[in-house]
Amino acid sequence: MPLLYAILIAVVEGLTEFLPISSTGHMILTAKLLRLPDSEFLGSFEIVIQLGAILAVLITYGRRLFSDRRVLYRVAAAFAPTAVIGFILYKAIKQYLLGNAAVVLASLLLGGIIIVIFEKYHREKPTAAADIGDITVRQAVIIGFCQALAVVPGVSRAGATVIGGLALGLKRRVIVEFSFLIAVPTMAAAAGLDLLKSGAAFNRQDALTLLVGFVVAFAVALLAIRWFLRFVQTRTFTAFGVYRIVLAIVMGLVLFRL
């Protein structure tokens, strides 16, 4: 993979990882537009550079995650169902779903419609949980199952967890921050599993490409997190839903010449 293309994909990853628009879906579509052939390394690259986004979260929230047992327990509870489902489906996901533009576009479209409809009728209750420590273990596990839906490219891990959390009665900022935190074990496990299975096949150039992707994704994700936290203070996710719908239609026309 040309280094410039790796940088472009890493920028896309950093910008979209924590937004409800699917970073994996965007990376797959970007690779299609760049006419990069599907390969074992490309699939691994799209997974491993998410470690850069993880580091951005740890720098922003690491102290809270590791100093508050209530938060750590709830992150672990949310991670558990995702870990089991992801491990069982890992091979099928990488073989049949990663790189599948049709699946991405369908997921983006459906997810966008769901976000728009949900935001139209959702009203935050005065009793909504105002702190991550107020999330119950049961709610955390349900959010974990929502997160597991993102094994399908285009669904969006952030989108699924945020909508799930809002439906369970959490405040918008609380579920956004919780979504950041549960990304840490989720993406670390995905990247670690991929490196364990595919890392031995990487050459020195591949390793350099991964390193550059990691650094770029980290820097961009750090900025994206800060922007998104300001955004959710006053706005809903409707604009992201509309964006997903428009993107799915436009990219469908571009890629499939409909």
37-52 tens-digit pLDDT: 877 778 788 888 888 9
Supply the pTM of this predicted model. 0.86
pLDDT at residue 199 in the model: 65
What pLDDT does residue 217 have? 95
Contacts of 10 (CB under 8 A, 6+ apart): 49, 52, 212, 213, 214, 215, 216, 217, 220
**94-124 pLDDT per residue, tens:** 666 666 788 889 999 999 999 999 999 998 8
The residue ranges of the chain whose pLDDT is under 50 are none
CB 221 within 8 A of CB 52: yes
User: Can you give the pLDDT at residue 220?
Assistant: 96
Q: What is the pLDDT of residue 116?
A: 96
Q: Tell me whether residue 211 is exposed, middle or buried, using C-beta atoms within 10 angstroms of its C-beta: 0 to 12, 13 to 18, 19 or more.
A: middle
Residue 204: both structure tokens together: 């020195």
Q: Are the CB atoms for 35 and 200 separated by under 8 Å?
A: no
- Residue 33 and residue 14: Cα distance in Å, rounded? 18
Instruction: List the structure tokens of 66.
Output: 């590791």
At 143, is the secondary structure helix, strand, or coil? helix
| pLDDT at position 207 | 85
* Residue 94: per-residue pLDDT: 66
Three-class SS of residue 129?
A: strand
What one-character DSSP code corresponds to residue 150? G
Between the alpha carbon of residue 201 and those of residues 69, 93, 205, the distances in Å are 39, 20, 11
Please give the pLDDT value at position 99: 65
The rounded distance, in Å, linking the Cα atoms of 147 and 195 is 22
pLDDT of residue 143: 95
Separation of alpha carbons 163 and 75, rounded Å: 17
